[in-house]
Amino acid sequence: MNKLKTIVNHYMQKVPEVRYYCNQCLKTRRWGSSILLMVIDAAFTSIGLNYFKTVVPKMIEFEETFVKSGKIKSLEDLTSAEMKVLRKIWKNKRSWEVAKSIASSLVNIKEQKNLKTDKQAFITWAKNAQLQNWKENPIGKIKGVGLNTFQYLRMMGGIDTVMPDKIVRRIITNILKESEVITPILDDIAFIETVHKIAQKTGYRPIELCWMTWLVQSEASLKYSEILSKIVRNDKK
């Protein structure tokens, strides 16, 4: 256990700002606390393109073109937006279908539970969305929403967990090998549970281990620090 903690500490020391980013994420403060932008972020990210080089610039373009102009400000607005208009910013139709479907599901929660804001609906969903039966969840059932997208949304909704994407898997697997815990973990659910155990043993949160891998692999903490500050900003209450 001591060796595991030493190794994880070494990785964490490379990204001291990770705790701040994770705190903002767990407080549902990414993208200025805009649930609309968080949903679109998840939908764009779901197709596997480079996050900082491709997704973020298009997110900023969408925000400038539609959100700040007042054309699309809420989840309801997104559900009724015309596909041909949306695709002027991001051409991938499947991404928009995913985004619109997630938005519709959250709007239903908002209406059914008589909630006042998109944020309340999103947090309510995240608190009630369970990992073990994620495929039965209304958002988990959406075509194009895999486990990574499901977990990404839960994290942005305030749940301390991890995504089992290829970057997280690679670095966590390396950590396990370095610490001589070389048990192969093929199943996504088992991998997530393992990261939770690592967090418990090393004194970090699962979300911190997740974000650490993203920042370490791309040196994003240095190269993309200005972009990260925009993503995790909190300009709305």
Q: How far apart are CA 62 and CA 41, in angstroms?
A: 10
Q: Are residues 165 and 215 in the same domain?
A: yes
* Measured distance CA(60)–CA(67) in Å, rounded: 10
Q: What is the rounded distance in angstroms from the CA atom of residue 39 to the CA atom of residue 36?
A: 5
**Is residue 141 domain-shared with residue 63, that is, in the same domain?**
yes
Give the whole-angstrom CA distance, residue 163 versus residue 118: 23
pLDDT band with cut points at 50, 70 and 90 for residue 36? very high
What does DSSP assign to residue 183? -
- Give residue 185's pLDDT band: very low, low, confident or very high (50, 70, 90): confident
How would residue 90 be classed by pLDDT, with cut points 50, 70 and 90?
very high
On whether both 52 and 132 belong to a single domain, the answer is yes
Q: Are residues 125 and 44 in the same domain?
A: yes
Final residue belonging to a domain, choices 109, 133, 157: 157
Do 122 and 233 share a structural domain? Answer: no
Last residue within a domain, chosen from 157, 189, 210 = 157
Question: How far is the C-alpha of 48 from the C-alpha of 206, rounded, in Å?
Answer: 22
3-state DSSP call for residue 27?
Answer: coil
Are 106 and 174 within one domain?
no
How far apart are the C-alpha atoms of 45 and 152, rounded to whole Å? 9
Backbone angles phi, psi at 23, to 5 degrees: -60, -45
CA angle 191-153-112, nearest 5°?
125
pLDDT of residue 233: 64
- Position with higher pLDDT, 157 vs 215: 157
Residue 232 pLDDT: 76
The pLDDT-based confidence of 237 (bands split at 50, 70, 90) is: very low
Residue 21 amino acid letter: Y
* Same domain? 80 vs 177: no
**231 has pLDDT over 70:** yes
Same domain? For 53 and 105 the reply is yes
Residues 132 and 46 in one domain: yes
Confidence of residue 222 (pLDDT cuts 50, 70, 90): low
Owning domain of residue 228: 1-27+158-237
In the predicted model, what is the mean pLDDT of residues 31-51? Answer: 95
Residues 47 and 145 in one domain: yes
Range 156-165 average pLDDT:
97
Mean pLDDT of the region 200-215 = 96
Find the CATH number of the domain harbouring 84: 1.10.340
Q: Pick from 140, 157, 174: which residue ends a domain?
A: 157
Average pLDDT over residues 124-136: 97
Residues 112, 145: one domain?
yes
Domain count across the chain: 2
Same domain, 129 and 231: no
C-beta of residue 177 within 8 angstroms of C-beta of residue 10: no
